[in-house]
Structure formats: structure tokens, C-alpha cells
Amino acid sequence: MNILVVNAGSSSLKYQLIEMNTEEVLAKGTCERIGQLISQLKATGKDGKSFVVEKPIPDHNVAVQLMLEALVHKEYGVVKDINQIQAVGHRVVHSAEDFDSSVLIDDEVMEICRKNSDLAPLHVPANIIGIMACKEAMPNTPMAAVFDTAFHSTIPPYAYTYALPYQAYEEWRIRKYGFHGTSHKYVSQEAAKYLKKDVKDLKIITCHLGNGSSITAVQNGKSVDTSMGFTPLEGLVMGTRCGDIDPAVIEFIMEKTNWTISQTMDYLNKKSGVLGISGVSSDFRDLIKALYEGNKRAELALDVFCYRIKKYIGAYVAVMNGVDVIVFTAGIGEHNPEVRERVLKGLDYLGLEFNNELNYNVVRGKLTDLSGPNSKVKILLIPTNEELVIARETQALIKNN
């Protein structure tokens, strides 16, 4: 069975075609700068050959057409015609409180997604446009929605309720929702598999550290708390997002600058984080280079980033009354020994020991056990694979229907 995984953003559309028997990625690509003057499809197709199609992509319908043309292309294509795509799995950012797992898409699901658009106005409308464009091009192909928030639907009310007047929750649905659910779910299950234990018997802290970063407490296989909140702005320090701050800072900045609320939110979302502190970059490759060159602000940015993670680990140990496994994943978590070292140092009160030599000599793309021989807490580096989770969930839904 071939499953197409689609992740539609406001100006991009990413896809992967996965053959489910082997879980091999047959083809993948990204349509970039949709709706702008210069747009392109960057893709990999048959035999891993890369190619770029430069042409105007005015909207998502054209992006979907371009993606399908690439998949059946004479030279680069990996299938003869689109009927060889048995299902499509769509990443949908927000499910509010309506879905606690992935669902097959029908008119009712679309209606609920539209209703939830106001909760993630930058993402859900784009997800919907992507789904509609695929439905138009492949009207008879079953499609599933896999939600970023669904894994966090098990967080209890005392953890997701903000201490605002209760009306804010009842009327405006303001609460912690959490994101990156597909990744946290995947790596916690992979951790249990590696340890040959039932995920239901483990207390796991999963650190998804990428451009966007979040950390989750997974107890008995369920998310019981996570650092992102109503939006992805809450929690850890990120590439360009500030994470937790005193909300009164917003009023103070606006008074100092006369900025509008959207300018101020832009400042917190796009100009803050390690970029804002360091003045160097949001990318950890640049940040680490600057650190080794003696840049003090790059060092401070890294220290702030790691300190926040450590603080959340302490909080989640308290939440679960212990921890059996700490997992690092995503771009920074997988490729950044400096971050892992700074986070793990000083956690010996947990009986945690880690192999720092191995930490600096990890083979890329492989699950690696960084625990020391006597460590009471397992430290695992697990490459995440959100597309594969979306494909697996889509396949499971198709098989059960």
C-alpha cells in the first residue's frame, strides 16, 4: 500500500509517498513560496534523484497538481498513475477538544476543522486548503487527518487549565492544548520498544528540540503534561520564540514602542528565542560555531535554552513521581551533543549517568542509548519520523474501515 503524507502550510506544501510494507519513502518534496512571485517544487523521486521545478504556484491546487505530476513523471516518477496512491494522510495542527485520535476525513470532520480554525489561524486554514485541493485531485482516495494536538488530549484538567476566569475556557476555549503530539507519541513508543517494555509501565520525558521545541511527560503511554500551550509560543526557549515569559512584558513593550499587538507578537514569535538573545542565528549550527569562536551571547543563548529544558525535566519528574527514560529527538535533540550535555549535567540526583563520549560520537539517524552502565534513568536519542506516524495512522484507519 502506498500512502501519501501531506503537510500543507500557509505558503508551502510538503509531501512524502511511503510504501507501507517496507515503510520505504519512495518520493518526497516541498512546494515552496506558494502564492508568491517566484515559487518552486524541490523534490526527490525515482532512485533518489533530486530535481527542481521552477514555475509559478499561485495556490495549493496548483501545488497539489505539481506534486501529483512529479509522482507520475516519466523520468522521476515512482508510480504509473495516481490510482496507485491508496490513501492520503494529512497533518492537521489542531483538533481542539473534538478529536483525541486521527480520523478519516468526511464532511463532518471538515466542518469541525473549519470551526477550529480560530484556534490556529496560521495553520488550520492552510491544512484545510491542502485537504480540499487533494480531495479535488483525488476524489475517490480515502484521506485521514492526523492531529498535532490529539496525543495531548489525555492531559488532566488541573494541568491544562490556565488560572484565568473560567469563562475564558468555557466561551473562548482558552487552555493548554500542546503540539508536536505525533512526535512525542512516536518516540515514547519507540523508547518502550527498544527497552522491550510495555509503554504503559514507563514514565518517559520526551524532549522534541527543533526549530519549535516542546517537552512532554508521558506516563503509562499517555501525555500528562506538555510545555507548549494554547499556542506553540509557551514553554521552552526556541529558535525564534521566547517560550515562557511574564505576560506583563507585552504591555510594557507596547508602551515603549507604540507597536500594534501583531507587531509585538511578531517580536515574541519571530525575533526572540536563541536568535533574539544571541543576535547570531536561530539555527543551532551557527550558534554552536559562534560558541566555539568565543561569542558570549551565543553561549548565553545556549545556556538559557538548556536551563529551561532542565527546569521542565525537574517539573515533569515531580509530575510523574519519577522518570524511567529521557528521550532527545528532532533537529537539535538528535544532532546537538552540546545541548544534551548541558541538559543532562547535574541531574545525578536522579541516579542518572550518561556516556558523554558516545554523546559526542553518535551515528546520525540511529537510535542511540546514551545511558551510563549504572544509570537509573535511560537516556535515549531517537530520530523522530512524523511522516511515518501519519502514514501508519492513516493505514490503520483504512484497515479498520
**Residue with CB nearest ligand AMP?**
331
331 lies in the binding site for ligand AMP (CB under 6 A): yes
Q: Of the listed 47, 148, 246, 303, which one is catalytic?
A: 148
336 lies in the binding site for ligand AMP (CB under 6 A): yes
210 lies in the binding site for ligand AMP (CB under 6 A): yes
76 vs 284 by CB, closer to ligand AMP: 284
**Closest distance between ligand AMP and the C-beta of residue 290, in Å?**
12
Q: Of 92-100, 168-176, 327-335, 391-399, which part binds ligand AMP (CB under 6 A)?
A: 327-335
Q: What is the DSSP string of 348-373?
A: GGGT--B-HHHHTTPPTTS-EE-B-T
**Closest distance between ligand AMP and the C-beta of residue 112, in Å?**
28
Would residue 369 show up in a list of annotated catalytic residues for this protein?
no
229 vs 232 by CB, closer to ligand AMP: 232
Contacts 24+ apart (CB under 8 A), 198-202: 202/324, 202/325
Tell me which of 63, 96, 192, 332 binds ligand AMP, using CB under 6 A.
Answer: 332
From CA 181, how far away is CA 99, in angstroms rounded?
Answer: 13
Q: Running DSSP on this structure, what letter comes out for residue 73?
A: -
Nearest to 131 by CA among 15, 27, 36, 37: 15
Count Cβ atoms below 10 Å from residue 361 Cβ, excluding itself.
Answer: 10
**Closest distance between ligand AMP and the C-beta of residue 201, in Å?**
29
Q: What amino acid occupies position 343?
A: V
What does the chain come to in residues? 401
From CA 48, how far away is CA 51, in angstroms rounded?
Answer: 10
**Closest distance between ligand AMP and the C-beta of residue 289, in Å?**
10
Nearest to 316 by CA among 97, 100, 159, 161: 159
109 vs 187 by CB, closer to ligand AMP: 187
Contact residues: ligand AMP, CB under 6 A: 210-211, 239, 283-285, 330-332, 335-336
**Residues catalogued as catalytic:** 148
